[in-house]
Amino acid sequence: MNDLDVLRVFCAGDGRHGNLLGVVRDGRTCPDDASRQTLAAELGYSETVFVDDPERGVVDIRTPGTRMSFAGHPLVGVAWLLDIEELQPPAGSVWARDDGEFTWITARPEWVEGKRTEQYATVAEVEALPAPPPGEGWLYAWAWEDEAAGRVRARGFPRRPDGIITEDEATGSAAILLTAQLDRALNITQGAGSQILTAPGADGTIELGGRVRFAVPGQAGRKARAGQFAGS
C-alpha cells in the first residue's frame, strides 16, 4: 500500500523503541468502515490512523477491533508526520506543536476511556508482571522510579478480546490519565524503553509529548506538510 507510513512513536533518546503506528495518508483508499477495520486488523498495530482531510487534520483512529474517538500515540505520530497545528479526531480539537526533537499534543483526560491505572510499590514489581497479568480490562501498571523528579516506570496491558496486542509498548492516553490523577509533569519509561513526557495545563488539559521516527527504512524523505499530501 503506497500511501501507508509506518511510524514509531515515543522513541527513546537513542531513537530505539517506540510504539508502531500505521498511517494511511489518503483515507479515500479505504472509503468505508469495513475496509478500514479489515486493514487495521491485517496490519495488527495497536492503532492505525486514516487521514480524511490532511489540511484540516481530520483523522479516523482504528484498533484491530474497533474505532476510537481518541488515542494518544496515533495523534502524536500524525502531528509529526503532517507537521500540522491542529488535529480533529472524533473526540474534539487537538492542538499540536513541535519543540526540538519532541512533538506535543494537548488533550483532555476525560477523553480517555476504558483504562485503569494501578500503582505498584517498586519498579521491580512492575517489570516482573506477566504479560498480560491476570484480570480483565485495560491496565496501566506503574511505579515511581524517582518521585521527586517525576520519573515513572510503566507497562500497559490492553487485555482486549482480539488478543493481538498482549503488551502495549507506549500508551499516550494512559499517560494522560495518570498525569491528571497525579496532577504533575511526568517522564515515563514504558515497555522495552519508550519515553513519554507529559505536563498538566491550568485549564485541565494535558500536554503529551514524544519523539517520532519512521519505522521503515527509506521513508525519511516522505515527511511533509499536510497540504503536500492532498490528492496523494
Q: Is there a domain that residue 85 lies in?
A: yes
Examine residue 181 and state whether it is found in any structural domain, yes or no. yes
Of 75, 98, 121, the position where a domain reaches its end is 98
Model confidence pLDDT, tens digit, residues 132-145? 999 999 999 999 99
21 and 54 share a domain? yes
pLDDT value at position 226?
32
Q: What is the CATH number of the domain that holds 43?
A: 3.10.310.10
Q: Which residues of the chain have pLDDT under 50?
A: 220-232
In this structure, the answer to whether residues 115 and 200 fall within a common structural domain is yes
The whole-number pLDDT of residue 66 equals: 92
Residues 132 and 90 in one domain: no
Note whether 23 and 92 are same-domain residues.
yes
Are 85 and 37 found together in one domain? yes
Answer yes or no: is 187 within a domain.
yes
For residue 59, the enclosing domain spans 4-98
The reply to whether 120 and 182 lie within a common domain is yes
Q: Which pTM was predicted? A: 0.92
pLDDT of residue 1: 63
> What's the total number of domains in the chain?
2
Dump pLDDT digits (tens) for 150-192: 999 999 999 987 777 899 999 999 999 999 999 999 999 999 9
Residue 30 to residue 39: CA distance in whole angstroms: 8
